[in-house]
Structure 1
Amino acid sequence: MELKPMLFWDTKTVLTYMEPNFRFNLALKIPSIRKAEKAAPLIINRLVLHENHLVIDETEYKMKVYRQCQADAGLHNGEVDNDSDEYGFKIILDETYQPGDIKLTYNGNKGRGRICTLERFQYNCQAKVNSLPCNHYIRLYVSGSMTQFPYRNMKMHHLMRRLLTILFGNRTGEWTVKNIRVEDKIMRWPLTGRKPYVRNIELGLHSLLKMNAFHSIIDLSVPIARLKMRSFYSAIEDHPLFKHVEHLKISNTLFSLSLSHFFSIQTLKVSITRPTSLVENLDELISKLMEEMRPIGVRYSILVKEKVNLDTINHPTILEISTDYMQLAMGSEAVVVVQYTEDDRRTWLNIEVISREI
């Protein structure tokens, strides 16, 4: 029986149902299917980006530097986790920045001197090493296999950009990332190709740089189902990305945030997931809520430490009130419903704007 090669469309169909990492590996080994691989729909369940490794579903791509020192200067021979120059000095963040990279932190160590990785190499940096170069290699581990690259012409941040471009760059077919988390300080995202749909984002510590980064790399024609974040010093203000988020989860107490900024967020469902005390601030919360018209359908869920009787509130728009339930008029077409609910031994104060029954 004569064997015939699969047509382009048949190849696309087969690739669509393959596990992503197996599919990537197959395309690397068979150049003739690479165009079909880039065009076939792709679904990734989990994508985690770190400085020197990434995780796609259950497969980890991990990079290490392997050192073979030419002279005995007290340097540690073997594998280390840091990008360093030929003398063992750790490369600072700003030196890893490449055209097209997206910074996710304001602190790039700009203007600081090189940092010697003493905890790794255990030697006196300046005195012993300046004239003693070493041979370095980058090792890429994937599912137990290892590939080695010369270190002189490529650093780990170069390899990370190259790897992400090989895997995700130049895509023409629809692709979806169900869950994404970025732990690196620079996003080395591919410059070309179709943007992915993203369903869930773990932003970590909130910053405007991170919000801008995700806003620029995602296809926002499909809403983001959930965005999780926390704030330290930065104010969580409204951002164009929030309009495309169905559920925003903020791991802070409510009153560690600005109420004005909080109520300006253009996400219909917002949850505060760190227990908040309302004992002294319930009146302020309701007053700030009622200062402006809110869109019908918006819902705020606030995890509270304890219940505070709602019938202590005195506001001119109150329509109905009890210890656990309250309705307030918001214009002629909407009503604000405020009530407590229980969930897995936790108490939530839910605030929802609904259409007013006539």
Structure 2
Amino acid sequence: MNTLPLQYQSLKAVLLYMDPNVRFKISHRFPSISSTEKVVPLRIEELDLGDLTTTVNQTTYKLGIYREYKKGEKIPWRAQRYNDFGGFPYDFDRFGFEIFPGHNALNPGDVSLPCPYNLVSQVERDTVHIERMHRTRLKFYQNVLKTRLGSENVEISDGEGEDTILEHYYMSLPIEELERHIGEIYEDLQPFECRRFNLKPPFVCYIMLTITSKSHKEISLMPYNMKLHEAMKDLNSFLFGGRHQSIQVQKLQLSINGTILRLPVGFKIETEQLKGLNNLSMRHDAIISMLDKKSFPLKSVSFFADDEPDFQFSDMGKTKSFTAMDVNPEIDLFSILKTLSNQRVNLSFYDSDFGIGQYLGLVQSWIENERPIGTCYSFGIEEEDTARQILKLVRANVEGAKRSKRCVSIPIRNSARLELYYIPMKSLNDSEQEEFMYYCDWVLKMRVVRF
């Protein structure tokens, strides 16, 4: 049968409505249509950017270092685990030491996401002190193992100190777990031996790309001829680089840890929602630099509220809805809420110390300042009794307030009333429940409605 290739305009129409991950695959396998694919707007439902991962909708692209051990060499348990789950997340030098080349280097297009802490440890791993520490641990584990096997007695001290607790802990471990710990220390010591005798490690490194979706997992190994951050730059440049228009994303999520996003020059996103952000005040400029101006006003922003400046995200006032999760009880939250102009606000707390009197103060503020119709604030509540006490306090202290079983209604002007009521968490849909992090059983809502 003769088949005719799609004409240019038809191909563009097909690509526009195609799943983005299928587009990437087609562009990779058929370079002849790559330029056309870059012209057609890219539409993504959910995009999650990390240091070595990029997730497009429900497909994750992950980079790591795969270690292939030489024939006859026993693969250490820890190395096998890394190989099985996407590869080692840092680079290796020629002796097998972990290294961090260019980790903090900013190249054109890269976006730095600052963080008050950095979970990536960049301490030197190849010092004499580190080797001595490994050998001390090795001797301890070997002595414990000999005792457990009955070939030697090791005196375990009495008391409650940290060392004694560790000794008793390791004496209680299964034999195979002790042997695994010993194997891990031998693995840690191996680079020192390779450097001492100028030997190559017993493995060959490859860059591993793992593409994982709901129903499929694909692994590719490539020569280790560049560092991981360079490979990540190449990967994101292939996915997103050279596009003629901003990438259209419904929900954008960013790495929790402090990191540098390796992105192509000119990377821009037109988005509706920013989801699950950390350190929002510190990352404001970095986030804004990635967003097309057409993104504003944003439909919604959700973030973890650690500090008061997190609420000062300058573009949040242009956002219809925002969700603050795990609000730090040390924040003067209710003073902040009285100044916000957002139409919808959702708040969840963890081990909250907020008093019920503060809810009364917020109600009184809304009455005095006549919030617009449609304004609705929602609060995650752990105990139903807390919600009952809030309603009882408002009913007793606000003139004209009327209470039913789970609601207090207050006339605030001729055409509107303020309603304060609570409902079970299970009555919300899944996406709404997610905003309250699941540990609240009730939701207290405060809204302005028409009579």
Please tell me the TM-score bracket, short chain as reference: 0.7 to 0.9
Question: 2:379 and 2:101 mapped to 1: Cα distance?
Answer: 38
Q: Greater relative contact order: 1 or 2 (C-alpha under 8 angstroms, separation 6 or more)?
A: 2
Question: 2:187 and 2:379 mapped to 1: Cα distance?
Answer: 50
Question: 1:22 and 1:311 mapped to 2: Cα distance?
Answer: 58
Q: CA deviation at 1:187?
A: 4.6
Match of 2:14 in 1: 14
Correspondence list, 1:1-358, <5 A:
5-67=5-67, 76=76, 79=83, 80-86=87-93, 87-92=95-100, 95-99=103-107, 100-108=110-118, 113-115=123-125, 122-124=187-189, 127-130=192-195, 131-134=198-201, 135-142=204-211, 144-151=217-224, 153-173=225-245, 175-183=247-255, 185-188=258-261, 190-193=263-266, 195-222=268-295, 223-233=297-307, 235-252=309-326, 256-258=330-332, 259-274=334-349, 278-286=355-363, 294=371, 297-304=374-381, 305=383, 306-308=387-389, 309=392, 310-314=394-398, 320-323=400-403, 324-327=407-410, 329=412, 337-343=418-424, 344=426, 347-353=442-448
- Is the helix fraction higher in 1 or 2? 2
Change in CA separation of 1:50 and 1:120 when aligned onto 2, cut-off 3 Å: farther
**How many correspondences in the alignment?**
349
Question: 1:254 and 1:97 mapped to 2: Cα distance?
Answer: 33
Contact 1:96 1:157 in 2 (8 A): no
User: Aligned AA for 2:91?
Assistant: S
Q: TM-score, normalised by structure 1?
A: 0.78
Change in CA separation of 1:120 and 1:106 when aligned onto 2, cut-off 3 Å: farther
Q: CA deviation at 1:226?
A: 3.1
Change in CA separation of 1:215 and 1:291 when aligned onto 2, cut-off 3 Å: farther
Q: CA deviation at 1:112?
A: 5.7
Larger radius of gyration: 2
Q: CA deviation at 1:292?
A: 5.8
Contact 1:75 1:121 in 2 (8 A): no
Question: 1:255 and 1:351 mapped to 2: Cα distance?
Answer: 20
Contact 1:238 1:261 in 2 (8 A): no
Where structure 1 has 5 or more consecutive residues not aligned to the other structure, the ranges are: none
CA offset digits 1:127-155 (Å, max 9, x no partner)? 4243445442211123544333332x422
Contact 1:164 1:188 in 2 (8 A): no
User: Aligned AA for 2:410?
Assistant: Q
Contact 2:305 2:326 in 1 (8 A): yes
Question: 2:349 and 2:121 mapped to 1: Cα distance?
Answer: 38
Q: CA deviation at 1:280?
A: 4.1
Contact 1:328 1:337 in 2 (8 A): yes
Q: CA deviation at 1:110?
A: 9.8
Q: CA deviation at 1:37?
A: 0.8
Question: 1:204 and 1:302 mapped to 2: Cα distance?
Answer: 19
**How many percent identity over aligned positions?**
19
CA offset digits 1:61-115 (Å, max 9, x no partner)? 2222123579x99995663422133144434597254322322423348996324
User: Aligned AA for 1:168?
Assistant: F
Contact 1:236 1:257 in 2 (8 A): no
Q: Secondary structure at the match of 2:346?
A: strand
User: Aligned AA for 1:302?
Assistant: F
Q: Secondary structure at the match of 1:15?
A: helix
Where structure 2 has 5 or more consecutive residues not aligned to the other structure, the ranges are: 135-183, 428-440
Q: TM-score, normalised by structure 2?
A: 0.64
Question: 2:414 and 2:185 mapped to 1: Cα distance?
Answer: 65
Question: 2:210 and 2:416 mapped to 1: Cα distance?
Answer: 57
Q: CA deviation at 1:289?
A: 5.2
Q: Secondary structure at the match of 1:95?
A: coil
Question: 1:121 and 1:89 mapped to 2: Cα distance?
Answer: 13
Q: Secondary structure at the match of 2:61?
A: strand
Contact 1:92 1:114 in 2 (8 A): no
Question: 1:146 and 1:56 mapped to 2: Cα distance?
Answer: 17
- Is the strand fraction higher in 1 or 2? 1
Question: 1:239 and 1:334 mapped to 2: Cα distance?
Answer: 33
